[in-house]
Amino acid sequence: MQKITKNPSAWVAAIPLVLLTLLLYGVIRCFGSDSILGGSQIALLSASSVAAMLAIWCYGRTWSELEESIINHIRSATSAILILLLIGAIAGTWMISGVVPTMIYYGLQILHPSYFLIASCAICAIVSLMTGSSWTTIATIGVALMGVGEAMGLPEGWIAGAIISGAYFGDKLSLLSDTTVLASSTVGVDIFTHIRYMLYTTVPSMLIALTVFGIAGFTLDHASAADVDLYAQSLRDTFTISPWLLIVPVLTGLLIVRKLPALITLFTAVVLACIAMPIAQPHLVAEIAQTTTLDLYSAFKGIVTTCYGSTAIDTGFADLNDLVATRGMGGMLNTVWLILCAMVFGGVMTGSGMLRALTEIFLKIVRRTTSVVASTVGAGIFFNLCSADQYISIILSGRLFKELYEDRNLEPKLLSRAVEDSATVCSVLIPWNSCGMTQATVLGVATFTYLPYCIFNLVSPLMSILVAAIGWRIKRTK
């Protein structure tokens, strides 16, 4: 007899989501910021198993249907996985070649007591934009700036707010950011299109943040910023700082402007940095290759090791050691693992019809473009509250609203932007979220203490809704 297939109800479809929330809560409590190392993946697979059992036993779905949906989801993430691996290679090669240290060094030169907050925000934005990691930026240059700001007598909430605002601005717009890649790939938008479209909400939000920090800098008391010289000198003592190294990011920017495919652009960026490494930093390449003299063999070994593995350069300055440490392609494997498990969960939820059942709730109450975007922003923040992880929030909100945007004839890039404007930037504002816990621990400032001063993170979701209400650059698909 042919098995009868029924459509799941929204109440049943919510069971895997509730289970996932509870499991992730336990994972975060047990593992903290290390939850991405495996705990979150187990939670996703467990919730996927429950969703699959409900679909098969209660609604007549077959495993072959669910498996096909899972395979399609994983196939759609293949490009993102390759991009992430190349991002890992860029993070290593751009650091060891001296490209990123050069950017940091010249950025530090603009620090002045009267402009400390606005300069800190701008420096963190540049570093995060170049590295693609808000966590790395905050844990390295952010910690140094935090110490300098406290020495100046500035309130710790203002300092942390400026650092976090800049770091998440760069993370959000960086081609090297895993959250940027994840948001665009989850929705199915070209990463360059995604980044360009985010400029319409991200740049105004950042201008507002810089204005606030600039005004605050003139109203707050200041002290000496001499400690910055020690950090800058340590960079110069460790790396060969040269403006010629800026050719690498400039050429990469030209490739982005030419709209070449992301894989080609990223691979070219890796090659350019690999060429610069033995020329600009031969002593570092020899150190990574564990030799005293640099020849063809050791240069090859040092370059390849930087691309795929971890590197640690002893600068004699603890904060700088953390900054120049890289993980290469291997450092991206936990994120790749998380994406694969999330695609399994998304595949089961889609193939079983559960995701559609949840989406239909919004189809009934959401009518106008503003309410669609506002619902997406609200969902991104809600999933951050429930799942306590920005990666899962990005995936869930992107997958949940994808069909809704298609039904409303809205461009998918509007969805990917709304997801980033909420799920990415608001994660650090939640104390029990992995981002909030990590940054509060790293900076030594409680989440609720720096929350009111994270101007960029607070304005971004509101700006996303405002731009949607105005209708700026929002087009309907045919």
DSSP secondary structure of 251-293: HHHHHHHTT--HHHHHHHHHHHHHHHHHHH-HHHHHHHTT-SS
Q: Of 263, 278, 273, whose CA–CA distance to 93 is shortest?
A: 273
CB 302 within 8 Å of CB 214: no
Separation between Cα atoms, residue 132 and residue 104, nearest integer Å: 14
pTM flag (> 0.75): no
DSSP character at residue 246 = G
Separation between Cα atoms, residue 153 and residue 133, nearest integer Å: 28
Own/partner long-range contacts of 204-210 (Cβ < 8 Å, ≥24 apart): 204/463, 205/169, 205/456, 205/459, 205/460, 205/463, 206/125, 206/165, 206/169, 206/456, 208/455, 208/456, 208/459, 209/121, 209/165, 209/169, 209/455, 209/456, 209/459, 210/118, 210/121, 210/122
Neighbour-count burial for 108-144, b at 16+ CB within 10 Å, e otherwise: beebebebbbbbbbbbbbbbbbbbbbbbbbbbbbbbb
Q: How far apart are the first and last CA of the chain?
A: 42
Sequence letter at residue 210: L
| CA distances for 431 relative to 106, 162, 279, 394, 425, angstroms | 34, 18, 45, 18, 14
Separation between Cα atoms, residue 380 and residue 419, nearest integer Å: 6
- Phi-psi domain of 291 (left: phi exceeds 0; alpha: psi -120 through 50; beta: other): beta
Separation between Cα atoms, residue 163 and residue 452, nearest integer Å: 13
Separation between Cα atoms, residue 174 and residue 167, nearest integer Å: 10
Which pair of structure tokens corresponds to residue 85? 């691996």
- Any residues with CB less than 8 A from the CB of 1 and at least 6 apart, and which? none
Where would I find the H helices in 174-246? 178-187, 191-219, 227-238
The one-digit pLDDT tens for each residue of the chain (478 residues) are 445 467 788 888 888 888 888 888 888 788 876 777 888 889 889 988 998 999 888 888 888 888 888 888 788 778 778 877 887 888 889 888 888 888 778 766 766 777 889 999 998 898 888 777 787 788 667 877 886 777 677 888 999 999 999 999 988 888 878 889 888 988 888 888 999 999 999 999 999 999 999 999 888 766 555 556 777 788 888 888 888 998 988 888 788 667 677 788 888 989 999 999 999 999 899 988 888 888 888 899 999 999 998 888 887 777 677 767 888 888 888 878 877 887 888 888 888 888 778 767 766 777 788 888 998 998 888 888 766 678 878 888 888 888 888 888 888 999 999 999 999 999 899 876 778 877 887 787 888 889 999 999 999 999 999 999 998 877 777 6
Residue appearing with tokens 């700088």: 320
CB 272 within 8 Å of CB 256: no
* Cα 424 from chain centroid (whole Å): 7
DSSP character at residue 388 = -
* Cα 462 from chain centroid (whole Å): 19
Sequence letter at residue 180: T
Condensed to tens digits (0 to 9), the pLDDT of residues 310-359 reads 888 887 777 677 767 888 888 888 878 877 887 888 888 888 888 778 76
Which pair of structure tokens corresponds to residue 165? 């605002």
